[in-house]
Amino acid sequence: MTAIASRLTAPRPAALVLLVAAAATVGGALVFQHGFGYVPCKLCLTERQPYYLALPLAAAAALLPARFARWVLAGLALLFLASAGLGAYHAGAEWGFWPGPSDCGGGAGPAPSDVKDFLKSLDTIRVVSCTDAAWRFLGLSLAGWNALISLALAGLAGAAAFRAGRA
């Protein structure tokens, strides 16, 4: 194991990397939503939930002694594997490999202030589908990138949990 990998898989540094990476990932999704106006679909919102749960767990793992942090890191590995599964399912639905959920209609934009604004918004409203990728980078949608990031974080958390157990 290289010196960098050895340091990163120690429980405390791994937990801090997981904390920062989870915050950056969900923060990036929020920037796309609120900064660039991409309205998330139902699956997009569901994919964020593991990250919201991972934030306090990673912070706790960073503060706990290694023998306890091991179990939290193992839980984080499982959580990020589930997150990767959600991302892969969503990306597969976008590519047409399988159908997406039938009730996927998307998140809401800004709320109209009165009935007149509501009726006017009906002319321009766009339903967000779970099967249409809103944005792609290097051929992968945000759901695809979520799957890859989640797999990497699961690997890091699992390696740190395993290393803490051997120590």
Note the pLDDT tens digit of each residue in 97-112.
Answer: 887 777 775 545 556 6
Confidence of residue 135 (pLDDT cuts 50, 70, 90): low
- Indicate the helix (H) or strand (E) that contains 84: helix 66-95
Q: Is 82 exposed, middle or buried (0-12, 13-18, 19+ CB in 10 A)?
A: middle
Confidence at residue 138, expressed as pLDDT on a 0 to 100 scale: 87
How do residues 141-166 score in pLDDT, each as one tens digit? 888 899 999 999 999 999 999 875 55
Q: Are 107 and 37 in contact (CB under 8 A)?
A: no
CATH number of the domain located at residue range(s) 3-166 in this protein = 1.20.1550
Return the closest-CA partner of residue 151 out of 47, 78, 71: 78
CA 147 to chain centre: 8
- How confident is the model over 76-99, as a mean pLDDT? 91
